[in-house]
Amino acid sequence: MVSAIHILSTGLGAAFLLGLLPEAWRGRAHLVTLAALALMSAIALSWVLAFAFDGQQMVDVFTAGVSPPFAINLRLGMAEAALSLTVCLSGLLSALYLKTSLITQGRRAMAVLLIAVMAFCGIILTRDIFNLFVFVELSVVSVGGLVLLSDDNRALGAGFKYLIVSQVVSILMLLGVIFLYHAGGTLNIDTLTAANAAGIGTGGLAFFLLLMAVVAEAKPVPANGWALDIYQAAHPAFSALFSAAAGTAALFAVDKVLVMGGPTWPPVVAGIGLFSFVAANVLGLSQTHDRRLLGYSSIAQIGLVLGVVGLKDVVGEHYLFIAGGILVAHAVAKAGMFWLSGLVAERKLSAWAVLRKNPILLFAFATFVALLVGLPPFPGFYAKWELIHALMAQDRVVLVALILLGALLEATYLMRWFGYALKRGADLESVQFEVRKVAVVLTAALGGWGLGYVWGELSGHANLLHSMALLFALGFVVLDGLPAWVKNTVAIAGMSAFFYVSYPGYDPLQLIFASIILLGGAAIFVAGYHERGRRLGFYPSAMLMYAGLAMLIVADTTFQFFAAWEVLTVGSYFLILRGKESEPHALSYIVFSLGGAFALMAGFALASGGVSEFAIQGLSDVAAEAAPWVFVLLAVGFMTKTAAIGLHIWLPGAHAEAETDVSPMVSGILLKAGLFGLFTLLMTMGKTQMYGVELTHVLMWIGAISALLGNLMAVFQEDAKRLLAYSSIGQMGYALFGLAMMNHLGWLMALMFVINHYVYKSMLFLSVGGVAKRTGTKLMYRMGGLITLMPLSFVAVLIGIIAMSGVPPLSGFGGRWIFYNAIMTAEYKLPILIIFLSGPIAFLYLFRLIHTIFLGQLKDEHRRITEAPFWIVVPQMLFVAFLLGFAVVPGLALRHVDAYIAQFFVGGGLSWDGLTITSPFGYWSPVSIMIVTGAIFAVLLAWLVFLNHKAQKVKQFNIVFAAERPHRPETTHFAWNFYAPYRKAFGFLLKPYATWFWDGVAGAFHGVAETARRFYTGDGQVYAFHMLGFVLVVYLIAMGM
């Protein structure tokens, strides 16, 4: 093994060597630089591998050959090695990225770069506080130099501000060092710790000064104005280094220093860190400059790690896993993002739309965002999971809330940005990206995936990247260059095969969900054949969602469940984002979903008491005092997905603006994830009381009100897909209501809804989507009279609305019948009234849907349109066939589920004797109904045909019109504001209270951000003052504690 000191000596030596090279050998100088950095990385890597695989023990390197206190020692453990590797690699990649700038600037710049990397490594490795000071100052000088690499001459100002603040910091640090030495008689950290120097005389204050100095290097809010300016103005490759390497080094320094101070200081550091995390994320909300935004994000992430460092004792054995996970994820992602920003010409966020020209860059951007937000399968995900659990184990509920809030805010602006990149800027001209820079970015992205794998291995949970489903989905990233129909076939085959293979392992409940997800998903994919071209990005996203869903239903532990939940959320987000106008809706979807997911995580953590590997079945044994809170958190999490009223505002836009075949996926299938969660919740936790209030009763009310308001809002939509979307809210309300009834039939009804809703909503979304495709509008009043032109779509909608409205003989009636039987034994009667009211309201919007689109007057411009594309019609016909079949023999699917549910409730099941289904209260024979109805219908139709077979077929204006004639189809088609009188009666219920509320919340955060960021005035002296004030305030607070 090469001694760790050569990491430093290589950097230093190469820097000196560069000085010896002729000025003109710039290219060669650059090669030397790269070689040095590569060598440094290699050394670090060799140590990392040694620690990881050879069981290498931690080593101390004695610089002068003697042990401390007589010489400086360096220490190399796993953490040091890994972080040094991070630093060196980001240095190497930045140097590669900076090639042009470095060659222009000459060898001095290269030397400074080497010194910077060396200094960061030194900060990590050294165990001597004065040596630490030296490396910090070296890094200051080199950073000061590297800032000048930027083309932006505002960087000058930024660099100078940095130097001003550094001066203040260095004064504090030197004073701290010397008085610590005075108190402990040594400069070695370990010896100082052993001597408890911080507890002796002036040692306490000295330690505080030293600590503040190193904390200041981690750029805590609010003493960090200088750092933001540097991020904004410096060369992006330098910012990458500064963010990834300097941040990493500073954090490790804090970690090292902190052990000296005893128990007083970690909470202070944790406070500073978490405050920075939340505050920087709030401030980030109102940023419009990409690099400055990255700066805020960087500060937030480092703040989070700082918080974890402060919480070292709390998180215990997982400390390195957590802090390291967040740190490396941040380092890789932030470096990658800065590198990306170097490829983007303009500095406003929407300018990142240019990345669309290169799928690799887009993939990298997505990876980085996922890394930062902490989505699976990246290290931040595992780390956050462990962190929250560790905190929960110690009952640090407030901290959990703060961390989750901060994470949500961060996700908000990052996802918003990603949305801009994907959707803004209509016509982009073609851009040529430098291959070298793209390669650097791609390396970082792949590094992120690699880290995801490593962290998965380290996590102690099943590695997500070993999951078949996820791998299959990720495989589509690789396949993305193939034509759409090939991918479509692979997807259908894959999902069917997956179902076939997994089929024996499912219990009846899982089987129902699995059929809908896998077979149902495959059925919807059939519609995908109508797309020509490659349809970039569609299949990875969709398959990611399906993978998440498939993983969800078989999850045994809370971790698997949550991971699957996040995977399906991410996949569906990408999927929704693909719609033409869907950018804001996709954002609100992901924000609500992540908020819900965080509630889940908190709930799981609370339930398990901080045990990170916790069986879902264990939810039934949650301690009594925690149980109601667990219930509430999980229920809220799941209800975000089912879009229960109040949490529903993301749904209409997300579903309505999605692509034609995406709407059925996200409506017909994705919503079921929430229901599955609720099933799981209620199956395990059952009835739970909070302050004497029965929570399932509350759920019943929420379900009922969702059903009512969802339906009611659907009535007044002019946009067909929005109508269907609101109707989904109502339908999910029904299902929630059924579940919350907590009786056998209620659950059966909910399951019936799961199946039915999938079928008819998918079908309706496809039909309406097909119509919208042909007519070029989703506004119903602009359609009309399409029945003769699109007969198959009409039939699909007709069957769909009959099924959905619950009119016999189709399957919707089965749901209603079970519902009535279920409420007979329900404990609470009042919410049932609301359900009664909402039932017939469904007729209103369903009739409107079919009437204003297919009936009434055909418009001029639609006279020549044809039936929807063949492949969109095919799945509709499959659904029609299924609905008819399911109407006749619902028992095929339901009786097994019925038997399965019986294990949860005593009595109340159905009897499936012969053709008649019997409950304790009534009976129902689908076959007889179908036959009787069919027979009557056929006889009457024959009679009418006999009478009217010679009827004259007339055209659309041949209507009686009070002796006048219609003017134009537009004025004759009664469609707009169809239920105007109804609005008079019920309009008051339709005020968008929920939207107002959430707008208010969002507005408040943005308002705070907008006001608070004015704190950073841009004046170097003010920043120095901030630093001093920060130190003072922290001291006062710490002393007060």
Partner 1 sequence: MKDELKPRIVKGPDGIEFEVDPLRDYYCEASPSVHPPVYVKIVEDFFNWARSESLWILGFGTGCGAIEMRPLMTPRFDAYRFGVQWRPTPRQANLLMISGYLSTKTLKRAIRSYEQMQSPKYVVGLGSCTINGGMYWDSYNTIKKLDEYLPVDLYIVGCMPRPEALLQGFEDLKQIIRAGKAEGANQYAEKFEWYKANQKKVIHDWDMPDYNW
Partner 2 sequence: MVHIAMLTGFVLIAIGIYGALTNRNILRMIVAFTVANTGVNIVLVSVGYMMGRTAPILDAAVPVAEAANRIIDPVPQALVLTAIVIGLGVTALMLAYAYRLYDCRGSLDISRFRDLKW
Partner 3 sequence: MDFEWIRIPHALLTLLIVFLYGLLLGAVIQKIGARAGRRHGIPFYQNYIDLIKNYALRTTITHGFMFYLGPVFRLTGGVGLLLFVPTIYGVAMHENFSFAGDLILALYFVFFGSLGMALGAGESGHPYAAIGVSRGLSQVTAAELPFAIAVFAVALQYQTLSVTDIVAAQQGSVFNWTVFTNPLAVTAAMMSFLGSMMRPPFDVVLAPQEIPIGPPTEYHSAYLALMQSNRAIFPIAKMVIYMNLFFGGAANWPVFFLKVFLLYLFAAFVGVVFPRFRVEQSVRWFLVWGVPVAVAGLFWV
Site for partner 3 in 924-943 (CB under 8 A): 924-925, 928-929, 932-933, 936-937, 940-941, 943
Three-point CA angle 120, 447, 537, nearest 5°? 140
CB 837 within 8 A of CB 734: no
Q: Which of residues 770-789 bind partner 3 (CB under 8 A)?
A: 785, 787-788
Nearest-approach distance from CB 860 to partner 1, in angstroms: 4
Answer positive or negative: Cα dihedral of 592, 595, 601, 607. Answer: negative
Residues facing 75 on adjacent strands = 60
Q: Does residue 953 interact with partner 3 by CB under 8 A? A: yes
Q: Reduce the DSSP state of residue 817 to 3 states and report it.
A: helix
CB 368 within 8 A of CB 333: yes
Radius of gyration of the chain (CA): 32
Nearest-approach distance from CB 950 to partner 1, in angstroms: 9
- In this structure, how many other beta carbons lie within 10 angstroms of the beta carbon of residue 840? 11
Q: Does residue 106 interact with partner 2 by CB under 8 A? A: no
Amino acid of residue 217: E
Residue selected from 847, 905, 912, 1035 as contacting partner 3 according to rule CB under 8 A:
847
Residue selected from 434, 861, 913, 999 as contacting partner 1 according to rule CB under 8 A:
861
Interface with partner 3 by CB under 8 A: which range of 204-212, 531-539, 747-755, 846-854? 846-854
CA dist 142 and 139 (Å) reads 5
498: its two tokens: 């997956």
Q: What is the DSSP string of 165-184?
A: HHHHHHHHHHHHHHHHHHHH
Q: Does residue 197 interact with partner 2 by CB under 8 A? A: no
Q: Does residue 952 interact with partner 1 by CB under 8 A? A: yes
Answer positive or negative: Cα dihedral of 849, 851, 853, 854. Answer: positive
Q: Which of residues 52-91 bind partner 3 (CB under 8 A)?
A: none
CA dist 881 and 910 (Å) reads 26
Encode 862-886 in three state secondary structure: HCCCCCCCHHHHHHHHHHHHHHHHH
Residue selected from 606, 823, 901, 1009 as contacting partner 3 according to rule CB under 8 A:
823
Which of partner 2, partner 3, partner 1, none is residue 398 near (CB under 5 to 8 Å by kind)?
Answer: none
CB 555 within 8 A of CB 564: yes
Q: Does residue 687 interact with partner 1 by CB under 8 A? A: no
Q: What is the DSSP string of 288-327?
A: -BHHHHHHHHHHHHHHHHHHHHHTHHHHGGGHHHHHHHHH
Size of interface with partner 2, in residues (CB under 8 A): 49
Residue selected from 62, 905, 982, 1025 as contacting partner 3 according to rule CB under 8 A:
982
Nearest-approach distance from CB 768 to partner 1, in angstroms: 15
Which of partner 1, partner 3, partner 2, none is residue 718 near (CB under 5 to 8 Å by kind)?
Answer: none
Nearest-approach distance from CB 165 to partner 2, in angstroms: 10
Give the H/E segment covering residue 62: strand 59-62
Q: What is the DSSP string of 126-153?
A: B-BHHHHHHHHHHHHHHHHHHGGG-S-T
CA dist 556 and 574 (Å) reads 27
Interface with partner 3 by CB under 8 A: which range of 226-234, 236-244, 328-336, 978-986? 978-986
Which of partner 3, partner 1, partner 2, none is residue 156 near (CB under 5 to 8 Å by kind)?
Answer: partner 2
Give the H/E segment covering residue 76: strand 73-76
Q: Does residue 1020 interact with partner 2 by CB under 8 A? A: yes
Q: How buried is 667 (Cβ within 10 angstroms: 0-12 exposed, 13-18 middle, 19+ buried)?
A: buried
Which of partner 1, partner 3, partner 2, none is residue 967 near (CB under 5 to 8 Å by kind)?
Answer: partner 1
Residue selected from 367, 663, 876, 972 as contacting partner 3 according to rule CB under 8 A:
972
Nearer to partner 1, 327 or 771 (CB): 771
Q: Which of residues 514-543 bind partner 2 (CB under 8 A)?
A: none
Interface with partner 1 by CB under 8 A: which range of 223-231, 373-381, 867-875, 953-961? 953-961
Which of partner 1, partner 3, partner 2, none is residue 863 near (CB under 5 to 8 Å by kind)?
Answer: partner 1
Residue with token string 């044994």: 621
Nearest-approach distance from CB 217 to partner 2, in angstroms: 15
Answer positive or negative: Cα dihedral of 988, 994, 999, 1005. Answer: positive
- CA dihedral 553→558→561→563, nearest 10 degrees, is -160
CA dist 562 and 929 (Å) reads 44
Contact map string, positions 808 to 847, toward partner 1, x by CB under 8 A: ----------------------------------------
Q: Which of residues 727-786 bind partner 1 (CB under 8 A)?
A: 774-777
299 Cβ neighbours under 8 A, 6+ residues apart:
219, 220, 221, 224, 227, 228, 276, 280
Contact map string, positions 121 to 160, toward partner 2, x by CB under 8 A: ---------x--xx--xx-xx--xx--x----xx-xxxxx
Nearer to partner 2, 152 or 718 (CB): 152
14: its two tokens: 């190469």
Residue selected from 61, 110, 802, 872 as contacting partner 3 according to rule CB under 8 A:
802
Size of interface with partner 1, in residues (CB under 8 A): 25
Q: How buried is 855 (Cβ within 10 angstroms: 0-12 exposed, 13-18 middle, 19+ buried)?
A: middle
175: its two tokens: 């004073």
Give the H/E segment covering residue 247: helix 247-258
Q: Does residue 788 interact with partner 1 by CB under 8 A? A: no
Residue selected from 569, 727, 821, 876 as contacting partner 3 according to rule CB under 8 A:
821
Which of partner 1, partner 2, partner 3, none is residue 532 near (CB under 5 to 8 Å by kind)?
Answer: none
Backbone angles phi, psi at 918, to 5 degrees: -125, 135
Interface with partner 1 by CB under 8 A: which range of 266-274, 518-526, 757-765, 949-957? 949-957
Residue selected from 807, 884, 888, 1028 as contacting partner 3 according to rule CB under 8 A:
807
Interface with partner 2 by CB under 8 A: which range of 776-784, 841-849, 959-967, 1020-1028? 1020-1028
Residue selected from 532, 829, 953, 991 as contacting partner 1 according to rule CB under 8 A:
953
Q: Does residue 1036 interact with partner 2 by CB under 8 A? A: no
Q: How many CA atoms lie within 13 A of 130 on its CB side?
A: 15
- In this structure, how many other beta carbons lie within 10 angstroms of the beta carbon of residue 974? 13
Nearest-approach distance from CB 745 to partner 3, in angstroms: 12
Contact map string, positions 955 to 984, toward partner 1, x by CB under 8 A: xxxx-x--xxxxxxx---------------
Nearer to partner 1, 234 or 865 (CB): 865
Residue selected from 1021, 1032, 1036, 1039 as contacting partner 2 according to rule CB under 8 A:
1021
Nearer to partner 3, 570 or 849 (CB): 849
Nearest-approach distance from CB 145 to partner 2, in angstroms: 7
| Distances from the Cα of 813 to the Cα of 726, 736, 809, angstroms | 21, 18, 7
Q: Does residue 182 interact with partner 2 by CB under 8 A? A: yes
Q: Does residue 949 interact with partner 1 by CB under 8 A? A: no
Answer positive or negative: Cα dihedral of 230, 231, 233, 234. Answer: positive
Residues that bind partner 2 (CB under 8 A): 130, 133-134, 137-138, 140-141, 144-145, 148, 153-154, 156-161, 163-164, 166-168, 170-171, 174-175, 177-179, 181-182, 187, 225, 228-229, 232-233, 1013-1014, 1016-1021, 1024-1025, 1028
Residues that bind partner 1 (CB under 8 A): 774-777, 860-865, 952-958, 960, 963-969
